[in-house]
Amino acid sequence: MSIYIGSDTKVVVQGIGSQGTFHAKRNLDYGTQIVAGTHPKKGGTTWEELGKPVYATVQEAVEAEDANTSMVMVPAPFTKDAVLEAHEAGIDTIVVITEGVPVHDMTEVYDVVVRRGGRRLIGPNCPGLISPGKSNVGIIPADITMPGKVGLVSRSGTLTYQIMHELAQAGIGISTCVGIGGDPVIGTQFIEVIEAFAEDPETEAIAFVGEIGGSEEQRAGEWIAANIPDTPVVGYIAGYEAPPGKQMGHAGAIVKEGGPGGESAAEKKQILESLGIAVAMNPSEAASLMIQRLG
């Protein structure tokens, strides 16, 4: 098994420009069931690079191809409408790769699509998710990992690749890897992914990669300590060297000056360790801690 996506996942791609096409093609070659693309002006044509149909709307892709998952790669100004369209078409899982989506847009989208609509929304500004050997929805390079029993969840794209790569070098594979994105308002949070991993019989251990800013990691840690104390869990919090008050790239990655406690990497590490979770100082240590934990 895997979480959120699997062999039966049928993906429609919203945003079939050069990036969308490049990654959709790569996902298709990996074995992902990419069933269609959408473009408001190209309905009825063929997506040549993939040999798949293009529909004008997501609704048509759902009706004709049974699409149940959407990969959103449209530019940021159009992302809100794209996600709402996928939701209205009945798509179960909407994965938003686009970066630079206004936080007010995401707040509204979350309300409609997740809180009231009950859909699974992942991202924005995320690398997507992969269940090695089954499906890859997003931009994660699949060739750096392999099927296995570690569930990986991360706020950062490339850092996720780094950890997967380090684990793979040690012979450890992945059940599902979910990049949830580093923005202040995201569709799916750590704790939800970790809960899903806890229920997944094929996931035996969990690695989570956090960063400075916010309190998600602490809340995830509390949930882990209370619910799955015997599951091997390893964390890494990026940004030990990040100075307070400076935004480090990600919109959410800032240690607030005089803000609520626990936003720095060192503070998060301390809180998680007090909850019995092993926390690494860097990616390679995360991999070696995982190896130790798996025995």
Partner 1 sequence: MDLVEYQGKQLFRRNGVPVPAEGRVCRTIDEVETAARELGGTVVVKAQVKTGGRGKAGGVKLANDADEARSVSEDILGLDIKGHTVNVVYVEPASDIAEEYYLSVMHDRVNKGYLVICSAKGGVDIEEVNRTDPDAVVKVSLTPNDTTDGLQRDRALDILTQAAIPEDGREAAADLLVTLFDAFRAEDATLCEVNPLIKTPDGRVIALDAKVSLDNNAAFRHGDYDEWKVAGLEADDPLEAEAKEKDIQYVKLDGQVGVLGNGAGLVMATLDVVAQHGGQAANFLDVGGGASADAMAASLGLVLKDPSVKSVFVNIFGGITRGEEVANGIVEATRRLGDFPQKLVIRLDGTNAEQGRRILEEADLPNVISAPTMDEAAELAVALAKEAS
Taking the C-alpha atoms of residue 168 and residue 147, their distance in angstroms, rounded to an integer, is 10
- What residues does 12 pair with on adjacent strands? 36, 70
Q: Is 250 a catalytic residue?
A: yes
Taking the C-alpha atoms of residue 24 and residue 28, their distance in angstroms, rounded to an integer, is 6
Determine the size of the site formed for partner 1 (CB under 8 A): 70
Residues 39-58: x/- map of binding to partner 1 (CB under 8 A)? --------------------
Is-contact 70 39, C-beta < 8 A?
A: no
**Minimum distance between the CB of residue 64 and partner 1, rounded to whole angstroms?**
29
The DSSP secondary structure of 262-285, one letter per residue, reads --SHHHHHHHHHHTT-EEESSHHH
**Minimum distance between the CB of residue 267 and partner 1, rounded to whole angstroms?**
15
Taking the C-alpha atoms of residue 133 and residue 146, their distance in angstroms, rounded to an integer, is 7
Closest CA to 233 of 191, 182, 180: 191
Element (H, E) at 52: strand 52-55
Binding-site member from 245, 270, 274, 292 for partner 1 (CB under 8 A): 245
Q: Indicate the residue among 91 and 255 with the shorter CB distance to partner 1.
A: 255
Assess 235 for contact with partner 1 (CB under 8 A): no
Q: Indicate the residue among 231 and 284 with the shorter CB distance to partner 1.
A: 284
Q: Indicate the residue among 61 and 194 with the shorter CB distance to partner 1.
A: 194
Binding stretches for partner 1 (CB under 8 A):
19, 23, 76-77, 97, 99-108, 110-112, 114-116, 127, 139-141, 144, 154-162, 165, 182, 184-185, 209, 211-212, 214-216, 219, 236, 238-243, 245-253, 257-259, 265, 281-284
